[in-house]
Structure 1
């Protein structure tokens, strides 16, 4: 699958790094006066800025260099940005990280999200409106399906895998398949009636994209219900460029893995107390997702 380079939105939520005495400056400092941290667009740009701005400022302080938050227009922009070496650190979904590896990005996953119970997985669900007549996916023939992005795990690849197991070809079964661009947009499209069923991420009864949206006053969770839940998916990673100096990679890794203690407020701004600390991970954890991507790629080629 060819990925075209997509433009990134402008930098946001940046604080200048604290000054370091010349004698204290790490060996990589002159080469990296600025680091770019990017995140896939799981919600609107202002929401990402509010959620991740304090974390980026924390990284700036810990690393002693400017860290810039950039919000991508789509998932492919983060992939292409790391392939090109323009994004030093990125927060991915599992499938977009796997896609980056599959398309030649020289990156390594070093941190993974965890749940409050210590597990490291989440789910893809299909929502319908609570007052709709639909009880099973098979009852939506000819209706409209809302997916998120071609490189979304819970918003595209796992749903397509699940539909295939049901014997459903989405483009033939549904009246229309709509890519909404973000998980929030998928819920909004469902609420507005643009689609009749929408894919989304769901951790457990205490946390999901839908509950986050309710906390922001965007929707009422009670207006929607789940008619399908997938098997558990490995949680999302944070990755850096392999080309960064080892000393810098170690500093980034330590700062990210310690953020829940070193800056609890910044950590809680991201997860709102609904997830556990980030933990160490490596690329091997995402090998099953590479196989999932390949499976979905084959489905598309078969039409």
Structure 2
């Protein structure tokens, strides 16, 4: 009798927990009643959250749900939150998205129309000092040269510069993530700004940067216009907003439509977008293929 009562109590406890979890993930027309959105800070996390509150308010009004912003310290923190189910939607670089989908099922939703290209793609560039003897990519891929990447997981600061170097004859394969012979040395600066300054300061002969970030540095006066020369560039699929696939097709449709409906100039300026367009997993196939070949994507 006692054993039966204990069993009944356990069953009721489990059922109660399940009910609570279900209540927490109540949906409204397919979208979680509380939609959790992950952001990467480019300023202090608390300032980032306040800065993007107009975006959260817009999504809340458009979708008819509560929106909670989650600010991580870096891309790894956002990916960990996606994998752990602590957030539903996040903004990732193309390479980070492809790396993350090895750990959790993700659906890319939209990307921004870039101000500079007018398309869903932006530009990665290899730059050198304008007063150097480097005129083209062949001059970069030479014995004794030094090169700087940004973060190893950066799409435009690591993967695409590595693609350009490899296509020009360097051997930046999966066994040499931190080497690209015949280059003498390869550094990882951690970011586009640091890479541009490393090239400008003569710490390396050339480096890979996101071109629109270089233009921002020039407009701010951090880098003198014309001081760095673009020796090679490549189009990169835009940063995708992704969703955990388990939320379902209806959520994907409604969230995507909320992005593509944005027409407030101030909000678009905040999001650094001209507008938004839908994307699919197929749009990132080059990143999967080349990233795997260069050792930056592990296929499970």
Instruction: Please state which band the TM-score falls in when normalised by the shorter chain.
Output: 0.7 to 0.9
Aligned to 2:125: 125
Q: Does 1:190 align with 2:194?
A: no
4+ residue runs of structure 1 moved beyond 6 angstroms? none
Shift of the 137–267 alpha-carbon distance from structure 1 to 2, 3 Å rule, reads same
Distance 2:167 2:297 in 1: 12
Aligned to 1:160: 162
TM-aligned CA deviation for residue 107 of structure 1: 0.9
Q: Does 1:96 align with 2:96?
A: yes
Does the 8 Å CA contact 2:91/2:239 hold for their aligned counterparts? yes
TM-aligned CA deviation for residue 46 of structure 1: 5.1
Paired residue total: 259
Q: Alignment partner of 2:55: what SS?
A: helix
Normalization by structure 2: what TM-score?
0.73
Q: Does 1:253 align with 2:251?
A: no
Shift of the 62–221 alpha-carbon distance from structure 1 to 2, 3 Å rule, reads farther
TM-aligned CA deviation for residue 91 of structure 1: 1.4
Distance 1:295 1:82 in 2: 25
Normalization by structure 1: what TM-score?
0.73
Aligned to 2:106: 107
TM-aligned CA deviation for residue 279 of structure 1: 0.8
Does the 8 Å CA contact 2:35/2:88 hold for their aligned counterparts? no
TM-aligned CA deviation for residue 130 of structure 1: 1.9
Aligned to 2:270: 269
Which one has the largest radius of gyration?
A: 2
**Aligned match for 1:223, one of 223, 227, 232:** 227
1:265-296 Cα offsets, whole Å, 9 max, x none, are: 0111232xxx5311112212222221111111
Q: Alignment partner of 2:28: what SS?
A: coil
Alignment RMSD, CA only? Answer: 3.1
Does the 8 Å CA contact 1:210/1:221 hold for their aligned counterparts? no
- The runs of 5 or more residues in structure 2 that have no matched partner are 1-26, 173-178
Does the 8 Å CA contact 2:291/2:297 hold for their aligned counterparts? no
1:33-58 Cα offsets, whole Å, 9 max, x none, are: 4613224x7xx435993875543443
Does the 8 Å CA contact 1:144/1:196 hold for their aligned counterparts? yes
Aligned to 1:243: 246
